[in-house]
Amino acid sequence: MRGERVGGPWPTWPPGFTLAEADRSAALVLSALSGLTPRRLLAYASQGRSASACLELVRRGELGSSRDRRFAKELGGVEIATRLDRCGARTVVWDDAAYPTQLRTIHDPPFVLYVRGGPLPGAERAVAIVGSRRCTALGRELAQAIGYGLASVGVTVVSGAAVGIDSASHEGALEVGGPTVAVLGGGVDAAGTGSRRSLIERIVDHGAVVSEYPPGVPPVAFRFPARNRIVAGLCRATVVVEGAQGSGSLITGSHALEFGRDVYAVPGAPTNPLSHVPLQLIREGATMIRGAEDLLEDLGVDRAPGGEALDLTLAEAAALRSLVGPTLPERVARELRVGLADALTLLVRLEMRGLVRSVGGRFEATLAATARTG
């Protein structure tokens, strides 16, 4: 669905807000202030003040909190620039040509972006994939397959680098070497530890990591909804894979609708709590997709050639057909009229070919099996 623009064009940063070198430096300091809401800053900026003029107001105590005032006095743009160099990040400000056009039209656009990695994608070449942190194995597979499908035709996959669906989307894109972009809810240097750090480093190598916060800002949950507007804003379309009630993916989907972008959702069983957001969005008019192929067809890009036909024995094909959702092995045995041991044997052979997976003592068909057998 193409969302209707509710509320029309919003007030945005005036041209020239960050034009001069001094303004650019001031913008960095302004982006680090926690007590100054963007809305209040925007009110002053739209009266024709530049970033350095606004910063001067903060230093005089007329704008922002007293803490901001202290902070703004001590901090200069130079300190932030040094930090940027240290983590290999660059800045893209409102008046730069490199500022993504599609981001200019969103509600409350960031006046500065901190970027590590390559160039930011153009609007027509970026799609967001979002969903639950706590997801099912199937959801993870779906996100990965969609990410893979998009990246393999050169569409940038944008997500939030969180665990679950986000990571799976990035991973799918990284399998074909990107491109993929992660929008973080903290500084671009706060990359976390372990597997998350390695994921972020790979995204930097095969795309970009973006944030509106300067390096050193910790990734804290209250910033994530704000981050989601950038995820939706960077893309021509947003895909929601799984999301429970109250999940951030509903926020991202709503943002996308509000910005007039396309929204796609992968449905699930209505009884599954993780289907809440996708089904809700579909009811509100989002386009239902069954997987990467549907999406690529709707986006009008050519799909890479499909998977080869499966070479299954009759018994294996029958076992695969008997799996309707998570199924107990004894059900499979009964349906095939074989002993339990034989059913287990068949299922394990299918599992080893990546067509079946065991979840909590039951067996279900993987995406690979459903995609190829129809």
Pick the stretch among 24-32, 137-145, 216-224, 316-324 that binds other proteins (CB under 8 A): 137-145
State which of residues 38, 53, 353, 373 lies at the interface with other proteins (CB under 8 A): 353
Among residues 287 and 358, whose Cβ is nearest to other proteins? 358
Strand-pair partners of 174? none
Q: Which tokens belong to 366?
A: 């993987």
Applying CB under 8 A, among 7, 270, 307, 374 the residue interacting with other proteins is: 307
Distance CA 125, CA 131 (A): 20
What is the per-residue binding string for other proteins in 81-120, x denoting contact by CB under 8 A? ----------------------------------------
Q: What is the identity of the amino acid at 199?
A: L
Evaluate whether 180 touches 200 at the Cβ level (below 8 Å): no
**CB-count burial class (<10 Å; 0-12, 13-18, 19+) for 351:** middle
What residues numbered 203-262 form the site for other proteins, per CB under 8 A? Answer: 244
- Count of residues in contact with other proteins, rule CB under 8 A: 50
Q: How far apart are CA 110 and CA 106, in angstroms?
A: 9
- Which residue shows structure tokens 């067509």? 355
Q: How many CB atoms lie within 10 A of CB 11?
A: 12
Residue 326 CB, shortest distance to other proteins, in Å, is 5
> Applying CB under 8 A, which of residues 114, 148, 224, 259 lies at the interface with other proteins?
148
Under the binding rule (CB under 8 A), the answer on residue 270 touching other proteins is no
In degrees and rounded to multiples of 5, residue 290 shows phi and psi of -100, -10
Site for other proteins (CB under 8 A): which residue of 23, 68, 141, 242? 141
Is 78 a binder of other proteins (CB under 8 A)? no
Q: How far apart are CA 124 and CA 262, in angstroms?
A: 11
- Is residue 354 at the binding interface for other proteins, with CB under 8 A as the rule? yes
Comparison of 65 and 358: residue with beta carbon closer to other proteins: 358
- 180 binds other proteins per the rule CB under 8 A: no
Among 267, 273, 310, 315, binds other proteins (CB under 8 A): 273
CA 102/CA 211 separation, integer angstroms: 16
Q: How far apart are CA 143 and CA 131, in angstroms?
A: 9
Phi, psi dihedrals of residue 207, rounded to the nearest 5°: 170, -125
Contact between 144 and other proteins by CB under 8 A: the answer reads yes
Does position 123 interact with other proteins (CB under 8 A)? The reply is no
Q: Which is nearer to other proteins, 81 or 301 (CB)?
A: 301
Name the minimum Å distance from CB 356 to other proteins.
11
Q: Which two tokens stand for residue 163?
A: 């665990």
> Residue 180 carries which side chain, given as an amino acid letter?
T
Distance CA 242, CA 119 (A): 29
Binding site for other proteins (CB under 8 A): 133-134, 137, 140-142, 144-145, 148-149, 163-164, 172, 175, 244, 272-274, 292, 307, 325-326, 328-331, 333, 340-342, 344-349, 351-354, 357-362, 366-368, 371
